[in-house]
Structure 1
Amino acid sequence: MFALPEDFLQFMRDVYGTEAANAWFQRLPSFLEECEERWQLKLLPPFENLSFHYVAPAVRADGTPVILKTCEFSDEFAHGLAALRLFNGRGIARLLESDEEQKVMVLERLQPGTMLASLVPEQDEQATSILAGVMRQLWRPAPTEHTFPTVEQLGQGLTQLRARYAGGYGPFPPRLVDEAMDLFVTLSASAPQTMLLHGDLQHHNILRSGDAWLAIDPKGVVGDPGYEVGASFYNPMPRILEVPNLEQMLARRVAQLSEELGMERARIRGWGLAQCVLNAWWCVVVNDRLSMNPPRGILRCAEILSRLKV
């Protein structure tokens, strides 16, 4: 098969351990050949910017361009797959084939596939409006019975932060952590409705498809729809950190999302701050080398939102 990007090889070894990652890399070529035969695909070289999954473009026997995505380590695969089935192509790339046990799926390939991140910062107002529009298309009432993680459960990750640092905060600003923990509780408790959300809807996960913009890579999360706006306040990373008037940009995003989604500004600001802190902590969890140096750029966005008057 095709050579894997060196950065991807090292990333998987760092996250899952050298022995486990290398064993998967050895099994991967034969597995991909099985997928090609099973679904009548011609696989092309994988994308360069891979992280937790092997993702490659492919062509079906009838010439339809598609995407194949797989990783046997993924603990989010089942939730993402279930979300794709429920979203059913509305506001998101369509699921075409899947095998939950083997953790592999074939998806509609969005073309030209331009990332929404390409509009920032020059066309940030337009990009924010596109984000809001995709949110409105995606959201739907949560199933009565489900196994999706809830927003409240995700917020409990910040209690793990305190435990990690023996009840302290380590390199994290105490005021921001305390405020984020409080926001997860109060905003979840006051949620006007409980919805099925994408869970990571930001500028790198929305692509152009013809004249439309559609989401990719849902995590599948259930809770307050306001939670969905949070990831947009520290993205697109790292480009957002180069904006000279970042405070002004984030304030405008709060106001614009409030108007377009019909949510209170305080709720949007709060979810932005809470998710900035949580994401910075997740970076530490994923990569222990960051344990004494959490992503300062994301925390900078949290600090701006903390000071923002709404």
Structure 2
Amino acid sequence: MRPASSIPPDTVMRRFALTQAEICAETPMARVWSVRRADGTLAALKLYRAGHLGNEATGLEYLRRCTGDPAVTIHDAGPDAVVMGWLEGPSLGDLARQGDPVQADGDLAAVAQALRLKSLSAAGLLPLTELFRPLLVAKLATPQAQFAQQVASKCLSDLATGRWPVVALHGDLHHDNVILTSGGLRVIDAKGLAGPAAYELANAFRHPRGGAGYALQPAVIARRLSLWSDALDCSSTDLLRWAIAKVALSMVWAGDERPGELAVLRALVREGARSGVE
């Protein structure tokens, strides 16, 4: 008999008229099953452990607004679950870890540009200022993290004064949230934020996970800044500032200034010193 955690609740299966559930992923936030919809097509059911969508609620709205490539299709949703298109294929993170990180970075740039060109409405999405609120009041120990906190504060101040237009953002666009399918690249797991375009790939500088130090190389950071700022139509300096800020925010969320995060932050700060980031 399968463990209970591998079987979706009957109420959820009936709600969305789903059958043939097979567990395929478990994360701290959710469980994911492959399922069959009433028309026989394969789909993914994501059920949130907390009983609500949490910080992915506005991400669901963002993906719905995309209405097509390169976003995953949202078939149905409830307060605690989402039924979306089934995506068969490796992530860009897998592609990078398997030996082609340069191609993965280029594909990520193409996805970011495609999303930007959709010019979606940012109304009702989570403001970036709200996302960063915990960082502004956090007590950080290391000089690098404290510097990143200062950079974040300046970024948010610039945002408040209207330095950048506020646009709709996926909000967590990195290699492991893009799937390379037979039909093309598809994004998943959006956060749905309202902020400057330069933030869109800020978190990607920490990825791909398990990349054996690839993301720490100065030449990689410089190439990414050029490639990704072109895709986002923003300055490379603005992109770097937000990348530095995002590492510090991730530390606050984790509750720990971990060596891996500090290594990324040091590499970005060194690049910032060459670029005049303050």
TM-score by length of 1: 0.77
Asked if 1:90 corresponds to 2:61, the answer is: no
Which of 108, 130, 139 aligns to 2:107? It is: 130
Q: Which amino acid aligns with 2:109?
A: A
Does structure 1 retain, via aligned residues, the 8 Å contact 2:71–2:187? yes
Q: Counterparts of 1:40 and 1:86 in 2: how far apart (Å)?
A: 24
Which of 222, 247, 254 aligns to 2:194? It is: 222
Q: Which amino acid aligns with 2:30?
A: H
Which of 180, 184, 201 aligns to 1:212? It is: 184
Asked if 1:305 corresponds to 2:276, the answer is: no
RMSD over aligned CA atoms reads: 2.5
Q: Counterparts of 1:39 and 1:144 in 2: how far apart (Å)?
A: 29
Q: Counterparts of 1:232 and 1:59 in 2: how far apart (Å)?
A: 33
Which of 80, 101, 118 aligns to 2:59? It is: 80
Q: Secondary structure at the match of 1:208?
A: strand
Deviation per residue, 1:255-278 (Å, 9 max, x gap): 211233332111111111111111
Q: Counterparts of 1:221 and 1:295 in 2: how far apart (Å)?
A: 26
Aligned residues: 268
Q: Counterparts of 2:179 and 2:215 in 1: how far apart (Å)?
A: 26
Deviation per residue, 1:79-132 (Å, 9 max, x gap): 1222222112231110011123xx2111001122x1110222632222122112
What does residue 197 of structure 1 align with? Answer: 169
Deviation, structure 1 residue 143: 3.5
Deviation, structure 1 residue 63: 3.0
Does structure 2 retain, via aligned residues, the 8 Å contact 1:40–1:60? yes
What does residue 94 of structure 2 align with? Answer: 118
Cα 1:175–1:241 change in 2 (3 A) is farther
Cα 1:271–1:221 change in 2 (3 A) is same
Which of 224, 231, 237 aligns to 1:253? It is: 224
> Whose RCO is larger (CA < 8 A, sep 6+)?
2
Q: Counterparts of 1:245 and 1:160 in 2: how far apart (Å)?
A: 28
Which of 85, 99, 117 aligns to 2:78? It is: 99
Asked if 1:45 corresponds to 2:47, the answer is: no
Does structure 1 retain, via aligned residues, the 8 Å contact 2:76–2:84? yes
Deviation, structure 1 residue 240: 3.2
Which of 159, 172, 175 aligns to 2:136? It is: 159
Cα 1:208–1:244 change in 2 (3 A) is closer
